[in-house]
Amino acid sequence: MEILVAKHSGFCEGVERAYQIALKEIDSGYPVYMLGNLVHNTQVVNKFKDMGVKTVKDLSEIEPGTQGILLISAHGVSPEVYQKAEKLGLQIVDTTCPWVKKAQKVAKELSDAGRLVVIIGDTGHPEVTGLRGWAGGKTLVFGDPEELKGFECPGQEKIGILAQTTKSQDNFNRMVEMIKEKCRDVEVHNTICGATAKRQAAAVELAKKVELMLVVGDKMSANTKRLTELCSAAGTETHQIQTVKELDLKWLANKKKVGVTAGASTPEWVIEEVITLLRAR
């Protein structure tokens, strides 16, 4: 059995940056709080917890005047979170991905220009929640073309479109055209990150060459889910697994070529465990 690994997979630059910043702060000796999940990977989050990092879902869980460091996740947060953290007296360490920072800036500029901000993204995703905050809350969110079928442009409203950084390019392009058909004044900003585009292209290219694709990544990871959808759409048997424990050896039966890719928040050690087992077979 031949095992092929996608050219671009695993930690992207933004996640690697957030990971390294977190490790540095943990070693500082100060109490470290993590708001939500620093990255969407259970193994990474659990590693930080084992190292003493305290996870909070909301800043209300932290007492005012508490001494410590607050890690802002790679997905970013709304401006209100920074304000609340400062009032609590926490030292803010921002690991927001530079691509997400760019999208936040675009959201604010579009809103300040009087445009209704339309985000092509997943409602409830931390990144999208943050983008809505930077746009002042005046936003519409659509995840796929199906959700746009009943959309009508609100009056003569000027529209500004941007994307959650992990959306697929084809999906974004299609939805932009659908909105343009219904609205006259539309300003478009493609804020899909370069790493996402490369990973998706590499995964699809590999999927077309193999009989089985294994996508390694957390179920809560949007970009991993996207890779799974794209590989499956290429017509290849595809399975998403979080760790090597979820690898069903029955999938390998009679397979001569197996491809492996991984989400942008999947650590190298998790990917290597999968590859090691495949090689042992």
Which residues are marked as active site?
Answer: 127
What amino acid is encoded at 72 in this protein?
I
Distance CA 94, CA 113 (A): 27
Q: Order of strands, edge to edge, in the sheet holding 2-5?
A: 2-5, 257-262, 212-216, 237-241
Q: What is the DSSP letter of 13?
A: H
Q: For residues 32 and 68, is the Cβ–Cβ distance under 8 A?
A: yes
Helix, strand, coil abundance in the chain, percent, nearest 5: 45, 20, 35
Show Cβ contacts of residue 205 under 8 Å, excluding neighbours closer than 6 positions.
6
Q: Cβ–Cβ contacts within 10 Å for residue 211, how many?
A: 17
Distance CA 222, CA 97 (A): 15
Q: For residues 252 and 274, is the Cβ–Cβ distance under 8 A?
A: no
Q: Is 173 left (phi over 0), alpha (psi -120 to 50) or beta?
A: alpha
